[in-house]
Amino acid sequence: MSTKSDILVTLSLDEIPKKWYNIAADLKGLQPPLHPGTKEPVTAEDLAPVFTKSMIKQEMSTERYIDIPDEVRENYIRLNRPSSLQRAVYLEKYLKTPAKIYFKREDLSPVGSHKGNSALAQAYYCMKDGIHTITTETGAGQWGTALALASSIFDLDCTVFMVRISYDQKPFRRTIMQTYGAKVYASPSLHTEYGKKVLKEVPDSPGSLGMAISEAIEVAVGDPNIKYTLGSVSNGVMLHQTVIGLETIEQMKKAEIEPDYMVGCVGGGSNFSGFAFPMMREKMLGKTECEFIAAEPKAAASLSEGEYRYDFGDTACMTPLFKMYTLGHDFVPSPIHAGGLRYHGMSPLLSEAFNQGLLTARSYDQTATFEAGMIFAKAEGIIPAPESSHAIRAAIDLALEAKEKDEEKTIVFCLSGHGLLDLAGYERHISGNLVSSSRMS
């Protein structure tokens, strides 16, 4: 039975974390990114044409805890931080499971997802370093939306390359970005030389995050007054997102919740890492037996099916070489609705954690994830993002396994975003026209 103390666990504004957690301090055996020409570890000088100085410093840091600037922390309130930890009482009843299910609510941010946690930080550091124009990529649009708002807050010009399939499927996301003042281009685009090259070869290309990254980097490298920001994969982004997991640990302490499983969806790794890394440190210290499960799409299952090797982070081979689980930088995933998970590789930090056995991965077809999203919406009243529905699918499966074994397991998952701008996918599912990932070309 649920109790009033664990149905909705909140923190006060004063309890917003004051420091981010950097797992690079605790993961032994991490391999540095390499310069694609020399194959030597990249230096700050190598990264300077692309990133701002403050982000380069964080990218290369092995300091365990890094102070959250006051201006960033204050603006986290705009994102509805600290976000609540909620018990899925009605989902438990629907499943008739003895398991307890909780979810961390990143869907209540005005930008609709967890992405604002890093967007605010990166926009702040660009402003602090005297940069006035930034460029980025976005898949489903959550990151582009978050960075557009953050740019508005810190008075920056922002250009977003949005993956073509999501640009077409999710028109209102680009409208939100434009409302916040950002310029938005469908990627591949005619705005860059790389985009023109792709369109010449494949005029109807659905695009990919790798392509959009290439375009955004090309713009940044071509002008010393423009810097590139990214929404996932990099060490700095994983760092910023740990505000999620640090809050979750405090909430679990308050409600005396001992998780058996922590679950999140993975594309490049930002929400899962932010949610799980702080608790992984607890496991490395022997303070918990919690298992960590990453739920990924079958269409881009880099952990389940990729190779652990050095590869480029983009399609045009403009980034350093990263040691990560990858499907190959030229891999173009099927045009599934979970556009934020359509990436060929995985965060180097999360890849090494996976390599060391700190987490396991499960992959799902998009039909199964939309089914889970529908179940969650009917039970809890919240329509989840297609990306988040991967985590919900895994959580439901774990709850049903507990039911079959009659075990009282405790499952905590990250609801990384809402699906109110993803209704075209739900409409296709409801009408029976949602295509299995395996049947997509």
Tens of pLDDT, residues 42-68: 999 999 999 999 999 999 999 999 999
| pLDDT for 90 beyond 70 | yes
Output the pLDDT for position 313. Answer: 87
Mean per-residue pLDDT for 30-37?
A: 93
Is the pLDDT assigned to residue 266 strictly greater than 60? yes
Chain segment 336-351, per-residue pLDDT in tens: 777 678 789 999 999 9
Amino acid at 40: E
> Predicted confidence band at 130 (pLDDT cuts at 50, 70, 90)?
very high
Chain Cα centroid distance, residue 188 = 22
**Weakest-pLDDT range from 195-199, 214-218, 331-335:** 331-335
Query: DSSP readout, 137-164?
Result: EESSSHHHHHHHHHHHHTT-EEEEEEEH
Question: Could you tell me the pLDDT band of residue 2, with boundaries at 50, 70 and 90?
Answer: very low
Question: How high does pLDDT run on average in the chain?
Answer: 94
Q: Are strands 133-138 and 226-228 parallel, antiparallel or unpaired?
A: parallel
Q: Is 83 exposed, middle or buried (0-12, 13-18, 19+ CB in 10 A)?
A: buried
Q: Is 406 exposed, middle or buried (0-12, 13-18, 19+ CB in 10 A)?
A: exposed
pLDDT at 405 over 90: yes
Q: Which two tokens stand for residue 47?
A: 């990264």
Give 439's pLDDT tier (boundaries 50, 70, 90): low
For 5, 13, 241, 253, 441, the CA distances from 80, given in Å and listed in that order, are 21, 10, 14, 21, 39
**Torsions phi, psi for 222 (to 5 deg):** -80, -5
Q: Between 339 and 180, name the one with better pLDDT.
A: 180
What span, in angstroms and rounded, lies between the C-alpha atoms of 324 and 312? 9
Residue 113 is given by DSSP the state B
Of 184, 70, 52, residue with least CA distance to 122: 52
Of 331 and 278, more confident: 278
Tally Cβ neighbours within 10 Å of residue 75.
20
Q: Which of 82-91, 189-198, 332-341 has the lowest mean pLDDT?
A: 332-341
- Average pLDDT score over residue span 242-264: 98
Band (1; pLDDT cuts 50, 70, 90): very low
pLDDT of residue 350: 97
Spatial separation of the C-alpha atoms in residues 167 and 184, rounded to whole Å: 9
For position 339, what pLDDT does the model report? 66
Listed in order, strand segments (DSSP E) in 48-196 are 65-67, 85-87, 100-105, 133-138, 157-163, 183-187
Tell me the H-state helices in 296-408.
302-305, 348-355, 366-380, 386-405
Band (5; pLDDT cuts 50, 70, 90): confident
pLDDT, mean of residues 260-279: 97
pLDDT digits (tens, 9 = 90+) for 339-398: 678 789 999 999 999 999 999 999 999 999 999 999 999 999 999 999 999 999 999 999
Residue 200 identity (one-letter amino acid): K
Share of the chain above pLDDT 70, in %: 98
pLDDT tens digit sequence for 281-322 = 999 999 999 999 999 999 999 999 999 999 998 888 888 999
